[in-house]
């Protein structure tokens, strides 16, 4: 058996090396009407989450995404093994800042956080699941998966004192460790936050929580700085709504849950104070005759894509992409856009990957249009608003931004054993120049290069820097260089997506005879693929440097140099702005 696994691993490596495609992917102030709209603080506007129900996907998988758009956060990943615990074993709760980083010489981030003990220990459960973890827990060995987006809340609800023991990162770790289904994971997080308090470094947060059958929007918020465990009241307020199986949804840093029906337990879950806390805080008046609306009470967002000049365009753009015939207007207030929608065509995992790269192309919010894109139609030149002469100018904030730490696309798939059914597709760095790599739920190790590195020290030992290396050289002459990147993405990313059914079948054959052999096979596949992709991206960065050096074209095959023609629109603008005059005709 071991010889066969080794042979297949070598075969897979050879296939990967050839690039073969077998078979053919801020917080609100007192007056701001939107908690995460206008702040320059990326803590309040930093992630996009897409959710796909099983009947809305081409292969029956349930999908979530997380674009971790912080720009300065830790990008390292780790795998936490499953564990069995004895009666009386205790679990330490550490304070974890999702935006925190540590210099590499200090050591691995998740070891350092052990020093930040909250003062609380709680009883362990008999068994905890294995899971893969980045800034948050992303998938465990039961295929429970998560994506995160900060949504903010009414300021007086914040509790950033040390009293609440759980922040959003810690909650996702417990969801991974103790959740066998999405519903179980939500209950675990909700109950812990109610009992021990939620907040500290975090305000209102949204999590997409999925398993092979369903995906939920889970939103949680603090209950103010005066809460204590002895108050007898819940230390958090939370609500969850299930996305219908044949629909898709999105969270772009704003609350998505509207009117709730807690009697409908198949679609709603909530803390016992979900409504009463809003009444107590005068955020909802039951005598008004209006039904309770979660987002209007706790995290209002009274803006639209149009009236913010695109700073809040992602919600409208998502519906525009998946249901274009509905003709949703960018003038529609975001609060009035639907919770979810049935897509006009079912989405594949590759479709979702491409959606994470969207720059609102072809719309008035395209970040590469006109002067904003510069000479080489670069959507990343000016990705956020600016101030000039004391005035604020807003610019579109699109799904695909160049400050991403990494992007995850998770697939939870029924009909397969959990170690094979679950996949995290991970792309380090900016979406448009990176490459998604598969990590099956059943693997027992991840590449060392995924576990190290930071923003301030270049390192060829860190996978992330390979993708930043390509990204840097792409930005210089974007409209040409990005074509080279897309060719590489087809060779490595699309090929890996197309190869998935073959890997599934082979892993399942092993699993039926020996689950450990299946894990060994998946380890070999995922790690070999990742290492080959990383090496390919280092090489791609070198090639881009040579090809576009000094803003000329250097053809390595012909060993000839040629000029790059600048776009006509840029040249006309240059003539007008610099008042250039044409050379005299000396005929």
Residues contacting residue 403 through CB under 8 Å, at least 6 positions apart: 42, 69, 70, 71, 383, 430
Predicted local distance difference test score (pLDDT) of residue 106: 81
- What DSSP string runs through 112-175? HGGG-EEEEEEEPPSEE--EEESSSEEEETT--EEEEEE----GGG---SSS--B-HHHHHHHH
DSSP 432-456: GG---EEEETT-S---GGGS--BTT
CA of 354: how far to CAs of 208, 368, 493, in Å?
19, 17, 11
Question: Comparing C-alpha atoms, which of 354, 367, 360 is closest to residue 320?
Answer: 360
CA 280 to chain centre: 34
Q: How far apart are CA 37 and CA 417, in angstroms?
A: 42
Structure tokens given for 75:
């990008």
DSSP H stretches of helix in 197-328: 276-280, 294-298, 314-322
Residue 474 host element (H or E): helix 463-476
Q: How far apart are CA 191 and CA 193, in angstroms?
A: 5
Question: What is the C-alpha radius of gyration for the chain, rounded to an integer number of angstroms?
Answer: 25
pLDDT of residue 72: 87
Could you read off the pLDDT tens digit of each residue along the chain, which spans 587 residues?
554 555 455 455 444 544 443 333 333 333 345 544 444 444 445 799 999 999 999 999 999 999 998 888 899 999 999 999 999 999 999 988 888 888 888 877 778 888 889 999 999 999 999 999 999 999 999 999 999 999 999 999 999 999 999 999 999 999 999 999 999 999 999 999 999 999 999 999 999 999 999 999 999 999 999 999 999 999 999 999 999 999 999 999 999 999 999 999 999 999 999 999 999 999 999 999 999 999 999 999 899 999 999 999 999 999 999 999 999 999 999 999 999 999 999 999 999 999 999 999 999 999 999 889 999 999 999 888 899 999 999 999 999 998 999 999 999 999 999 999 999 999 999 999 999 999 999 999 999 999 999 999 999 999 999 999 999 999 999 999 999 999 999 999 999 999 999 999 999 999 999 999 999 999 999 999 999 999 999 999 999 999 999 999 999 999 999 999 998 989 999 999 999 999 987 76
Distance between first and last Cα of the chain? 83
pLDDT of residue 26: 32
581 alpha carbon, distance to own chain's centre: 49
Rounded Cα distance between 359 and 488, Å, is: 20
Measured at the CA of 351, the angle between CA 541 and CA 496, to 5 degrees, comes to 55
Instruction: Name which of 207, 234, 186, 145 is nearest 418 in CA terms.
Output: 145
CA angle 467, 452, 100 (to 5 degrees): 100
Distance CA 422, CA 1 (A): 24
- Residue 442 near residue 522 (C-beta atoms within 8 A): yes
């Amino acid at each position: 058996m071991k010889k066969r696994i080794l042979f297949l691993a070598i075969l897979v490596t050879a296939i990967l090396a050839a690039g073969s495609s077998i078979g053919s992917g801020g917080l609100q102030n007192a007056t701001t009407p939107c908690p995460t709209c206008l702040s320059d603080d990326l803590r309040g506007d930093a992630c996009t989450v897409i959710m796909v129900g099983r009947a809305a996907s081409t292969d029956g998988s349930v999908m979530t995404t997380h674009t971790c758009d912080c720009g300065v956060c830790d990008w390292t990943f780790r795998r936490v093994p499953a564990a069995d615990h004895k009666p009386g074993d205790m679990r330490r709760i550490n304070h974890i800042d999702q935006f925190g980083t540590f210099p590499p010489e200090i050591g691995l981030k998740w070891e350092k956080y052990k020093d930040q003990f909250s003062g609380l220990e709680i009883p362990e459960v008999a068994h905890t699941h294995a899971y893969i973890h980045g800034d948050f827990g992303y998938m465990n060995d039961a295929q429970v998966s998560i994506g995160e987006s900060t949504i903010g809340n009414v300021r007086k609800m914040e509790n950033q004192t040390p009293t609440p023991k759980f922040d959003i990162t810690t909650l996702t770790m417990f969801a991974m460790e103790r959740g066998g289904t999405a519903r179980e994971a939500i209950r675990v997080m909700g109950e812990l936050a109610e009992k021990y308090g939620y907040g500290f470094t975090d305000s209102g947060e949204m999590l997409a929580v999925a398993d092979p059958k369903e995906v939920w929007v889970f939103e949680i918020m603090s209950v103010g700085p005066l809460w204590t465990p002895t108050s007898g009241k819940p230390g958090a307020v939370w609500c969850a709504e299930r996305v219908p199986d044949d629909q898709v949804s999105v969270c772009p840093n704003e609350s998505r849950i509207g009117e709730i029906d807690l009697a409908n337990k198949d679609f709603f879950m909530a803390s016992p104070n979900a409504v009463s806390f809003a009444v107590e805080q005068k955020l909802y008046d039951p005598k008004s005759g209006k039904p309770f609306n979660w987002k209007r009470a706790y995290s209002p967002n009274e803006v639209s894509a149009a009236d913010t000049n695109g700073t809040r365009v992602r919600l409208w753009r998502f519906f525009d992409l998946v249901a274009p015939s509905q003709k949703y207007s960018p003038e529609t207030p975001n609060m009035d856009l639907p919770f979810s929608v049935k897509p006009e065509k079912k989405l594949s995992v590759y479709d979702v990957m491409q959606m994470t790269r969207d720059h609102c192309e072809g719309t008035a919010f395209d970040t590469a249009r006109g002067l904003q894109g510069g000479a080489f139609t670069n959507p990343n030149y000016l990705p956020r608003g600016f101030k000039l002469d004391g005035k604020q100018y807003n610019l579109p904030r699109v799904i695909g931004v160049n400050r991403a730490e990494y992007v995850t696309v998770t697939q939870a798939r029924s009909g397969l054993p959990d170690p094979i059914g679950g996949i995290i597709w991970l792309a380090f760095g900016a979406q448009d120049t990176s490459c998604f790599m598969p990590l099956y739920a059943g693997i027992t190790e991840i590449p060392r290069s995924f576990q190290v590195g930071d923003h301030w020290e270049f390192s060829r030992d860190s996978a992330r820097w390979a993708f930043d290396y390509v990204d840097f050289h792409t930005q210089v002459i974007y409209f040409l260089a990005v074509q080279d990147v897309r060719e590489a993405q087809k060779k490595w990313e699309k090929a890996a997506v197309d190869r998935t059914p073959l890997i599934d079948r082979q892993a399942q054959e092993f699993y039926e005879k020996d689950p450990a052999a299946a894990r060994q096979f998946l380890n070999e596949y995922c790690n070999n693929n990742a290492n080959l992709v990383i090496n390919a991206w280092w090489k791609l960065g070198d090639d881009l440097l040579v090809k576009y050096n000094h803003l000329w074209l250097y053809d390595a095959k012909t060993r000839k140099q040629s000029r790059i023609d600048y776009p006509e629109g840029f040249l006309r603008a240059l003539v007008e702005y610099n008042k250039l005059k044409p050379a005299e005709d000396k005929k």
